[in-house]
Every structure is written in C-alpha cells, then in structure tokens.
Amino acid sequence: MDDIKKERVIDKIWKSEPTIEGAGVHLKRAFGFHELPLLDPFLLLDDFRSENPAEFKAGFPWHPHRGIETITYVLDGDVEHGDSMGHKGDISAGDVQWMTAGSGIIHQEMPKGNSKGQMLGFQLWANLPSQSKMIDPHYRGFKKNEIPSVKTSDGATVKIISGEINGVKGPVQNIAIDPEYMDVELPAGKSFTHHVKEGHTVFAYVIGGEAYFDHVRTPFAHDATGINYFDMHSPCPCGDGTLVLFKKHGTHVTVTTDKHSVRFLLVSGKPLNEPVAWYGPIVMNTHAELRTAFQEFKDGTFIKHK
C-alpha cells in the first residue's frame, strides 16, 4: 500500500495533434504553447514520423532561436543541419543533438529520410533559466554508439540519453534543468518501475504499442483531452501518440503491459517556475526581451557569439 502511495499517478492524458511547421513539414505535436505551464521546464514536443518524403523534405530552413534548448532524437532517417556558427552535418538514426541556443543561433534542419523515404524522429524544446538565456550557444552531439542501452531486471530495454539506470548514465549531463530523457521498450506482460525526483515534471510519450502508466486503470479517473470518450473502456491502456503527464508528487513511475508491448519516451526535469514570454522560435521571460530579440534579428545584431 505504501508503494502505491509513492507511485506517481496520471494527472492528464491527451493525443498528439497533426500540424504543419517549417516550410511544410507534416508532424504531430504532442504539446506546445497551449499547454503552458503544465510541463515546465519543457515547452514543446514534436513527433515527425512519415513514410512520405513530400511531407518532410521541405524541412525547416534558416530560422533563429534564443533562450531555449532544442533536443533532436532521430530513430530512422537522417536530418541534415547547419548553423550560423559554421557547424554542419547529419543527425542519423539513433543519434541525438542537444542544442543550447542561448543568446541566439540561426540554423536549419532538413529531414532527408532513409533509403525507403521514411523519417522517424522527435524534437523536444526545453526552457533555459533566466540567468542562462543569454549564454553562448553550444552543442552536445552524440552518435548512436555513444548512447548506452541497458536491460533492466523487469525486462525493459532503455536507451539513456540523459539520466541514470542501474548506475549507467546517459551522455547528456550538467544541464540546468537536471533532465532525464529515456527511450524505453517493454515487452508484453511486464512491469517497469523507474525512480524520479520529487517535484520534477515527468511525462511519457507513447511511440508504439500500449501500456498502463499507473495502477488506476479506469479512464474516468484521468483528465483526458482529444480522445473519444465513447471509445474508452475499463481497463484503458494508453496507445501510440498519447502524452501521459504525471502528477508532481511521488518517488517512482510504474508502466505495465498486458497483451502488447510498448515503446515510449520518458522525460523529466526540474521546473523553473519563471514567467514565459514566447513568440515563435524565441522564448524569453518578458515581452520587452522578445521585442529586443526580434529587433536585433531585423537589425542584423541577433548573433552575439560566432
């Protein structure tokens, strides 16, 4: 009974929604501006999965960022990138790019897909604390073989981008929001438990299969958005494209599968509890800072570090 009390329970669930971004990239948005500040310190999660190159080839041409970190995780295909600091290259299947925009960077990301024209990846935006918004921009780029994968005693396979399991740490460390970012696969008929920090925001995003994300298996106990209530039944697992936001209190999350396996992203971070002024690719603390950023972009003084 005590373990159940310490388990995080679901606060809210919703489905990702189709949208078009960049120069015409079709994607699904798991959360964004309209969910502020539910997922503080996280701002946005986009799911760009497609088997049609026409839906992603136009990409995200040159555009600025300031005040945030963008985390690109590619599962299949390639994303070509370049920036105002002279960096360029490909983010390939299994790779992660953790880009800290800081005071400002202008870059482009152009999904190319794989040999079959398929693209599968995710981009997460994390906010920077006020004292770090104008730091020099920099990258943390990691290839597939640099991201550890562990097999847990409960049968899960976990790729650790950031965070720790069984003494194994992910390569992304020393980030202000103290994040965890994991890619978890759990076979059918198994249960996976992961300890999380008290007070940290924790969410899961299902990218395949289905599972139960707490011990309360009735859908009527959860705040659900974008889901057809008449399709819901008890017990009600969460399936592909579902965002699961946990309540803030509790020491661990438990995910359980029944007849089907599941794959999901598990993300957590320390809330900043700061005001957010957000317009497009710029996220600051005040509207005055936003106006300054856009005026500097217009004047050609946006880039502070080269």
Nearest to 16 by CA among 35, 31, 26: 31
Cis, peptide link before residue 41, omega less than 30° from 0: yes
Cβ(210)–Cβ(235) below 8 Å: no
Residue 87: its pLDDT value, please?
A: 85
- Phi, psi of 133, rounded to the nearest 5 degrees: -65, -25
Residue 3 has pLDDT above 70, yes or no: no
Residue 218 lies in a domain: yes
* 151: β partners: 157
Range of the domain at 53: 2-299
Residue 113 lies in a domain: yes
Residue 1: its pLDDT value, please?
A: 47
- In total, how many domains does the chain have? 1
pLDDT digits (tens, 9 = 90+) for 137-162: 998 999 999 999 999 998 999 999 99
- Phi, psi of 221, rounded to the nearest 5 degrees: -95, -5
pLDDT digits (tens, 9 = 90+) for 76-123: 999 999 988 888 899 999 999 999 999 999 999 999 999 999 999 999
Using DSSP bridges, classify how beta strands 10-15 and 223-225 pair: parallel, antiparallel or unpaired. parallel
Instruction: Name, in order, each residue with C-beta under 8 angstroms of 234's C-beta and a sequence gap of 6 or more.
Output: 217, 218, 219, 220
Buried b (16+ CB within 10 A) or exposed e, 173-199: eebbbebbbbbbbbeeebebbbebeee
Distance of CA 111 to CAs 122, 264, 265, 292, Å? 11, 22, 21, 31
Residue 306 lies in a domain: no
Distance of CA 187 to CAs 75, 126, 141, 196, Å? 19, 30, 30, 22
> What value does the mean pLDDT of the chain take?
93
CATH of residue 227: 2.60.120.10
Residue 205 has pLDDT above 90, yes or no: yes
Residue 277 lies in a domain: yes
Residue 305 lies in a domain: no
pLDDT digits (tens, 9 = 90+) for 42-78: 999 999 999 999 999 999 999 999 999 999 999 999 9
Cβ(253)–Cβ(213) below 8 Å: yes
Residue 151 lies in a domain: yes
Residue 232 has pLDDT above 60, yes or no: no
What is the longest distance spanned by two Cα atoms in the chain?
A: 61
217 pLDDT band, cuts 50/70/90, is confident
Residue 304 lies in a domain: no
Tell me, letter by letter, the H, E, C secondary structure of 192-259: EEEECCCCCEEEEEEEEEEEECCCCCCHHHCEEECCCHHHCCCCCCEECCEEEEECCCCCEEEEECCC
